[in-house]
Amino acid sequence: MIQYQISPLNPNSHLFEVLLSFKSTPSQNYTLTLPAWLPGSYMIRDFAKNITGICAVNSKNEAIELTKTDKQTWLIEASDEQVQVRYQVFAFDLSVRTAYLDSQRGFFNGSSTFLQVEELSEQPCQLSILPSTLSEHSQWRVATGLTRANGTEKYQFGQYTADNYQHLIDCPVAIGEFDSTEFTVEGVVHHLVFTSKHYGDTQQLAEDVSKLCQHHISLFGEAPFKEYWFITHLLANGFGGLEHKNSTILQAGRFDLPNPQQPTTQRSEDYRTFLSLCSHEYFHAWNVCRIKPKEFVPYNLKQESYTKQLWAFEGITSYYDDFSLFRTGIINFDEYLAIIAKNSTRVNRGVGELKQSITASSFDAWTKFYQQGPDAVNNIVSYYAKGAIIALWLDLTIRSKSNGQYSLDTLMRELWIHFGRTNIGTSEEDFINIASMLCGEDISSIFKQHLYSNKRIDLTAELANYGVELQQHKFKKLNSLETTSETNFHAYIGANYKAQPFGLMITQVLEKSPAAKAGLAVNDVLIALDEVKVTEQSIQAIVDHQPENSELTCHFFRDDQLLSSTITVIDSPLAGIAFKVVDDILVKHWQDIIPNG
């Protein structure tokens, strides 16, 4: 086995120490490298920048020269039958992607922590996770999806194994004095781990998440793992997740968990959002971790791996993350319609989808989506959000054309059987061909139009088949996706913002909006409108007291320079999307289809 050992070297300095040992052939060259990115997060991260103090010795403790050939690669020539490499990793990124260590907790993804020996990448790996030597860390435990070995018990420091390097880096590890809860679904033990202080009702959470897990397992027909780990970093504010084959790393706000002082039927919006995140990452265990585009078989983690299919792997997953909340009874149908209406509004309010197709969005994820500039809302479309709209179209289309015999569930099971189990990568033609087969007719033309054109998708007819009316509404207030069916004047300036200690920082300016015509730009700090100081409350009150087409003076800081302009307050465009149930009988045909039905 390739031997790895990791231990908290200095929590206050945020340093892990890693020891890599492997048997070698004298005079043979070996290549040590670290990935440039990790699956599920499509951006070059350059993890090797956090490696410090790297050195190597042989079995006699004699130094071996390391030659760095690029930003993430070292060459080494073995001098005898053993190589031992020692290095430190600076761990100060409390995201879901890299590594973190302080006196309260530790965490690492293997992709940012463990050097690969390229010539031995398919050999089994053994990882020894050692505890901190500090007495205040005596209660620390370990949470990971890695296989426990040599008598190591669950949650214990000790030895863990992986089939190969890819398996090793696919199992993130959390250490600390964390809270944990377990539940079982279809014989699979699931773990809920929280790495910092919280006040949530973990039993209620386990009950709700178990419903979502049951939904996904039933949909695909089986669980492709023996256990599963939900590892959550709780912060003052946070949101995000990253999928792995038998685990996920999540980030959430400290008060997003269910409040034990509230009735279990009163799930807050923040809690429902967290459940949707859990659902999303768990669904990924099938859709992208195993069913994946052909460009990812195998992964090339040295450089970008381009694919036009992220609309399917993130979009379809985004469709099911909320749909499963409805199917399991966590939310009702009206609440579900409100969620998908909000997603549709997010896409419809800007002109990005009129400039970029969903396949182009997938292909350009590395730069345009993961490194969004201030112009993003006007020039790109999210393959998550519009991908979910395409998934909805696909689900309703398959249901209608098959007379309710099949649905998107069927398509996903077919993909699982033919591509997930077999580890054969998909092409977009596979989605189109299976969908056409289930529809009983060739739908490739309209399907490709949705994928490759820069046009909006009108679901009016598809929704009407299931008793739901698509409506276009005004925005109810500034800086919100909330819509209203009222036809009276609703003030609009076309900018989003967030509160600052003094003023409002502009975060988005929609193309051709009053804010754009006034010359406002992202990162400007608006301080006054109509010579009145603005806050989140006062700006709404100011515009609500104006007649349509009022011209108001605005003052704002750009960097440290005070500027002024004139902004015209207009009536809200009909850019908000809402869904209304108009036929309860038809809606039943949508609601009644369950994953294994």
- pLDDT tens figures, 158-188: 999 999 999 999 999 999 999 999 999 999 9
Tell me the average pLDDT across 382-389. 98
| Nearest by Cα to 346 from 308, 318, 367, 325 | 318
The angle at the Cα of 21, spanning 20 to 22, to the nearest 5 degrees, equals 130
pLDDT tens digit string along 324-338? 999 999 999 999 999
Q: Write out pLDDT tens, residues 127-154.
A: 999 999 888 899 999 999 999 999 999 9
210: left (phi over 0), alpha (psi -120 to 50) or beta: alpha
The CATH number of domain 491-571, selected from 3.40.190.290, 1.10.8.10, 3.40.640.10, 2.30.42.10: 2.30.42.10
How confident is the model at residue 266, as a pLDDT? 85
The answer to whether residue 270 scores a pLDDT higher than 80 is: yes
Q: Mean pLDDT over all residues of the chain? A: 96
Q: Are 310 and 370 in contact (CB under 8 A)?
A: no
Q: Is the pLDDT of residue 597 over 50?
A: no
Q: What is the pTM of this model?
A: 0.96
User: What does the pLDDT read at residue 259?
Assistant: 94
Instruction: Give residue 386's pLDDT band: very low, low, confident or very high (50, 70, 90).
Output: very high
User: Which of the residue ranges 357-361, 374-378, 515-519 would you say has the lowest mean pLDDT?
Assistant: 374-378
Neighbours of 206 (CB within 10 A): 17
Q: What is the pLDDT of residue 592?
A: 67
For range 95-123, the mean pLDDT: 96
CB 10 within 8 A of CB 73: no
- pLDDT tens, 439-474? 999 999 999 999 999 999 999 999 999 999 999 999
- Checking if the pLDDT of 591 tops 80, the result is no
pLDDT over threshold 60, residue 280: yes
In a 3-state reduction of DSSP, which class is residue 489?
coil
User: 193: part of which helix (H) or strand (E)?
Assistant: strand 188-194
Q: Which residue has the tokens 């897990």?
A: 213
User: Are residues 238 and 198 in contact, defined by beta-carbon separation less than 8 angstroms?
Assistant: no
Architecture of 286-468+585-597 per CATH? Orthogonal Bundle (1.10)
Confidence bin at 355 (pLDDT 50/70/90): very high
Whether 595 has a pLDDT exceeding 60, the answer reads: no
Contact 375, 510 (CB under 8 A): no
**Which two tokens mark 404?**
């309710």
Q: Which fold would CATH assign to domain 178-273?
A: Zincin-like (3.30.2010)
Do the strands 188-194 and 468-475 form a parallel or antiparallel pair, or are they unpaired?
unpaired
Residues 550, 555, 557, 562: what is their CA dihedral angle, to the nearest 10 degrees?
140
Question: Can you list the pairs that 547-550 forms with residues at least 24 positions away whose Cβ atoms lie under 8 Å?
Answer: 547/489, 548/489
Predicted pLDDT of residue 588: 87
Q: State the angle between helix axes of 385-401 and 333-348 in degrees (0 to 180), rounded to the nearest 10.
A: 120
> Which CATH architecture is the domain 2-176 placed in?
Sandwich (2.60)
How is residue 492 written in tokens? Answer: 């609009």
Structure letter (DSSP) for residue 134: S
Residue 412 has pLDDT above 60, yes or no: yes
308: Cβ contacts below 8 Å, ≥ 6 apart: 359, 360, 362, 363, 428, 451
Q: Determine contact, residues 111/20, Cβ cutoff 8 Å.
A: no
pLDDT at 593 over 70: no
> Domain boundaries in the chain?
2-176, 178-273, 286-468+585-597, 491-571
472: tokens are: 């276009």
- CA–CA gap between residue 594 and residue 597 (Å, rounded): 5
